[in-house]
Structure 1
């Protein structure tokens, strides 16, 4: 893990802003989830879908999702985002600061590192290459919006072979397996 060794425990995270909203190109659009619109119903429905629930473990009641979205929006750790291709949302993202996340216990996060949780909510939209095509655009947008960010990471469940294949095709390199509270994950990184 030599290319992940740059974290200095003395770095001050209080000066690091919350995760940025990427400004996407190439027909993609990203917007923050609004909990007082149908966005919340969409995220809730997607999280109930078996292909998402199997790896996210968040098939929660709508009220808990409303609390979760509001919690994320009020903090500087994670940002809930809907990504559209054309007019309709097709992907739910959580863009997070890795140094403020549990993943920092198993990887030497730099203060401006950004992590992603990615879900294609509608099963009918899986296996279409959406994530593979989105990831290069998304990571470039994250690097553009935060010039101090030098790494974007993903930590899919090691059993989620479809996600790992999509992330690899989207430019992320596997670094190694890590044990997180709810899964054994494959840490994957894309550098600037």
Structure 2
């Protein structure tokens, strides 16, 4: 008989609460993105940018983004965040419960696993090492905020080599190629 790890011993019906909001240290700050005003327009504009839209496939209309953000804010599955560096918003992030996301169809998700979606909004802010610098702080903050979480996953488009290199440099390991509804992705994992 195969030994059972304590990490795999969660009951299938076990659930976890809403994903935590990470508390970051200077020069980083994370806050929940609002579904109106400045936040909505910023998230919409960033997702229209060619360097983001090419891989995220979320170049949606403003009303669709408003609905998405509002749905996330009213639910317990996803926390939309704006992450600032030295007081300037630079990254849109979504922290989700991976077991309640499409990625759960592609690996044995545990109830407390967290998933991340990240996008550097401004092209001028790419290739500056922001994601490499942020990820260790972000994953540490998420693990601290949810002591039951043992792994965090990302699923970048396999063609997005820039993001994959940044995620690896930030502490994530490639696990497997997976097929998601809108892309062929690389499942990447950061363990506690």
TM-score, normalised with respect to structure 1: 0.94
Rounded Cα–Cα distance in structure 1 between residues aligned with 2:26 and 2:34: 24
TM-score, normalised with respect to structure 2: 0.94
Rounded Cα–Cα distance in structure 1 between residues aligned with 2:8 and 2:130: 32
Rounded Cα–Cα distance in structure 2 between residues aligned with 1:132 and 1:121: 15
Whether the aligned pair in 2 keeps the contact of 1:92 and 1:120 (CA below 8 Å) is yes
Could you report, residue by residue, the CA deviation over 1:26-84 in whole angstroms, capped at 9, with x for unpaired residues?
A: 31000000123301100000000000001111111111100000011111111110000
Rounded Cα–Cα distance in structure 1 between residues aligned with 2:71 and 2:21: 16
Could you report, residue by residue, the CA deviation over 1:11-34 in whole angstroms, capped at 9, with x for unpaired residues?
A: 322xx1111100001310000001
Alignment of 1:1-192 (within 5 A): 6=8, 8=10, 10-13=12-15, 16-192=16-192
Whether the aligned pair in 1 keeps the contact of 2:26 and 2:86 (CA below 8 Å) is no
Q: Give 5+ residue unaligned stretches, structure 1.
A: none
Rounded Cα–Cα distance in structure 2 between residues aligned with 1:29 and 1:146: 18
Whether the aligned pair in 2 keeps the contact of 1:7 and 1:109 (CA below 8 Å) is no
Q: How many residues align?
A: 188
After TM superposition, the runs of 4+ consecutive aligned structure 1 residues lying more than 6 A away are none
Rounded Cα–Cα distance in structure 2 between residues aligned with 1:150 and 1:59: 32
Rounded Cα–Cα distance in structure 2 between residues aligned with 1:160 and 1:81: 22
Whether the aligned pair in 1 keeps the contact of 2:69 and 2:80 (CA below 8 Å) is yes
Rounded Cα–Cα distance in structure 2 between residues aligned with 1:125 and 1:30: 17
Rounded Cα–Cα distance in structure 2 between residues aligned with 1:160 and 1:10: 33
Rounded Cα–Cα distance in structure 2 between residues aligned with 1:191 and 1:11: 23
How large is the RMSD of aligned CA atoms in angstroms? 1.5
Rounded Cα–Cα distance in structure 2 between residues aligned with 1:122 and 1:183: 23
